[in-house]
Chain A
Amino acid sequence: MSTRERTLAIGALALAIAAGAAGSAALAAESPHLGRPISQADLSAWDINILPDGRNLPPGRGTAAEGAAIFAEKCALCHGDNGRGGHAARLIGGPAKASLDGGKTIANYWPYATTLFDFIRRAMPFTQPRSLTDHEVYALVAYLLAENKLIDASEAMDAATLPQVRMPNRDNFVPQFPDRM
């Protein structure tokens, strides 16, 4: 490469770098902004995440006795009579401690009771998700917690009481990549 060619090449490179820098700055400034604003009220039908501290739990209330009847009607087909297990998971009882042989249960494993509400409401019954009323979900959660001896059978579950339920295994979990959280 001659000196003149080299000079031209360096000049072209400098121009390309300058253009690239300007281009990326323009890209940042010109993010397409094609999302349409939506109000909290208009997204509320999808706003179903329940946080472990109980945030976003809806109004409603249910007892274990109410839940037992709903369970027999809508859940026992897969989870077995009284939640003892069918072709879907056992939900009541089970071993004292989970192992790699199995036996993760609500009583010995699940860290937060709020997860029961969140999951039942979003995913159950298997063939008809989102068909349960919030009242029914509270009742089913109360039933499962009471049958697993985690609350008294007389204790109703609602937005105030559910986050207070202390799950025995909560502090036994070890995040595997804490530096990435």
Chain B
Amino acid sequence: MGKSRQDRSAMVAVAGNGLLDRRALLGRGIMVAGAMGAGSAGALTGAAAEPLAEAPWSLMPGEGTPPYGHPSRFEKAVVRTVDNPNNEPSGSRARTPHHLLRGTITPNGLHFTIMHAGIPDIDPAQHKLVIHGMVRQPLVFDLDALSRYRLVTRVGFLECGGNSAPLFSNRPVQAGVQALHGLASCAEWAGVPLATLLDEAGLAPGARWLIAEGADAPHLSRSVPLSKAMDDAMVALYQNGERIQPGQGYPMRLYLPGYEGNMNVKFLRRIQVTDRPGMTYFESKIYTDPLPDGKDTQFYFVQEVKSFITSPSPGLALEEPGVYEISGVAYSGNGRIAKVLVSADGGKSWAEAALDEPRLPKAFTRFRMAWRWDGGPAVLQSRAWDEAGNAQPTREQFVARRGETSKPASVLGFAGHHFNAITSWAVSAKGEVRHVYA
């Protein structure tokens, strides 16, 4: 296919500073595929390719096949960043490398995880889940028993309530999308609807909450409204088709679609049905925040509508002017993503991004926008809306409601929680990408 067959309209600018009609990404692949393949606009500028030759690996048989597959040795950089590699006696966090991933499913080994006292080495044959409290009959389930139930499957994101916390800083923290937004991931979860198990135990009149507890060393506990438990909560056993990983709560975790990560209790061993919340440590001190009006947040269950651009982003420099794809993820704990707008001029003008199907509720949705970088300064932003009508706030709107620090914050700190405002990436004339407030 030659340039002459391209639909000229696909190259039409739809917003300022080079945003192109989204048809530029659909079915007219030569322009974008060429640009992507060369990491630049090489195919469009007409530079000749080298003559082709056989490579060494094409001239001999390859390696044997391992029982469990791993990424190519050339993909060593595609790993989580781990902030407590020596397992010092404190918490540990591993962040997802969004800038090196595409699609919407996070590979299991790259799913973010936070541990408050290490990962327990649980023998699944000895693990038990007890349901008690305000129920007709307290019951104990083991993994074999739960595996005989009708398992439900759903794709959904998980996000730490503290994801994006560096953006509470009064000055933009210089870090990439992994450091800033790496405490969110998306997977396919399969498990037993919690409502099924609660029905079997029999809810007593007056039951309104449950307190879920893990089998890890802190015996981590969180209170969950019974309405959520009976709606779409599950006791998850599988993650992307295999047993959930130890860092995700092997052999079973609570999964509450769209709700704050910490509530999705890992290593789930106990559910006590109650008439009120327990006011546990994590819902009293940790996942609560001072507000500008002097009050403090509490029970901030929902991870609200949010998006961020994963490419280009800091660390992924643009090599030369030309056509690029702006790509990122959007999600909402309130349902499906309805639309995502992208700006290349710091919010002065916006154009609607293409959304990859399937758009599932409470799951990552990948958005894409064609962009011709002219080599000048640009500020890239994305802004998402969910099907419930919620708009991702601008940073200015967010700070007015939630506040910011009075001095620059640490990239590893958690000044606040539930940050979901717009992220801005500034592209310099050299093609370097930095985090800015715009």
Chain A residues within CB distance 8 Å of chain B: 27, 31-40, 43, 46-53, 78, 87-88, 97-102, 104, 109-112, 114-115, 118-119, 122-123, 126-127, 129-130, 169, 172-178, 180-181
Sample of 20 further A-B pairs with CB below 8 A, known A43-B138, A98-B290: A32-B145, A32-B148, A35-B131, A38-B140, A46-B269, A49-B213, A50-B278, A99-B406, A102-B415, A118-B278, A119-B280, A119-B281, A122-B218, A126-B117, A129-B218, A172-B295, A180-B225, A180-B227, A181-B208, A181-B225
B297 touches A176 (CB 8 A): yes
21 contacts between A and B (CB under 8 A): A27-B150, A33-B200, A35-B141, A37-B138, A49-B274, A51-B274, A87-B89, A88-B90, A99-B290, A101-B405, A102-B415, A110-B284, A111-B279, A115-B284, A122-B218, A123-B116, A129-B219, A172-B294, A173-B295, A173-B296, A177-B301
B89 touches A46 (CB 8 A): no
A51 touches B301 (CB 8 A): no
A177 touches B300 (CB 8 A): yes
A127 touches B132 (CB 8 A): no
Chain A residues within an 8 Å CB radius of B219: 48, 122-123, 129-130
Chain B residues within an 8 Å CB radius of A175: 298-299
A172 touches B301 (CB 8 A): no
Closest CB in chain B relative to A134 CB, distance in Å: 15
Chain B residues within an 8 Å CB radius of A53: 276
Chain B residues within an 8 Å CB radius of A52: 276-279
B139 touches A104 (CB 8 A): no
B89 touches A114 (CB 8 A): no
Closest CB in chain A relative to B340 CB, distance in Å: 24
A114 touches B279 (CB 8 A): yes
Closest CB in chain B relative to A120 CB, distance in Å: 9
B70 at the interface (CB under 8 A from A): no
Q: How far is the CA of A122 from the CA of B200 in the complex (A)?
A: 28
A98 touches B296 (CB 8 A): yes
- With known contacts A123-B218, A173-B295, A177-B301, A38–B132 Cβ distance under 8 A: yes
- With known contacts A49-B213, A177-B299, A37–B137 Cβ distance under 8 A: yes
| B298 nearest CB neighbor, chain A only | A173
B285 touches A110 (CB 8 A): yes
B89 touches A78 (CB 8 A): yes
Q: Which of B140-184 contact A (CB under 8 A)?
A: 140-141, 145-146, 148-150, 168
Chain A residues within an 8 Å CB radius of B290: 97-100, 104
B111 at the interface (CB under 8 A from A): no
Chain A residues within an 8 Å CB radius of B90: 87-88, 126
Chain A residues within an 8 Å CB radius of B140: 35-38, 43
Chain A residues within an 8 Å CB radius of B269: 46
Chain A residues within an 8 Å CB radius of B227: 180
Q: How far is the CA of A32 from the CA of B196 in the complex (A)?
A: 9
Chain B residues within an 8 Å CB radius of A180: 225, 227-228, 301-302
Q: How far is the CA of A36 from the CA of B217 in the complex (A)?
A: 25
B25 at the interface (CB under 8 A from A): no
A122 touches B297 (CB 8 A): no
Closest CB in chain A relative to B367 CB, distance in Å: 26
B278 touches A51 (CB 8 A): yes
| A123 nearest CB neighbor, chain B only | B218
Q: How far is the CA of A104 from the CA of B227 in the complex (A)?
A: 30
Q: How far is the CA of A36 from the CA of B146 in the complex (A)?
A: 12
Chain A residues within an 8 Å CB radius of B220: 123
Closest CB in chain B relative to A4 CB, distance in Å: 36
B200 touches A49 (CB 8 A): no
Q: How far is the CA of A9 from the CA of B269 in the complex (A)?
A: 49
B199 at the interface (CB under 8 A from A): yes
Chain A residues within an 8 Å CB radius of B104: none
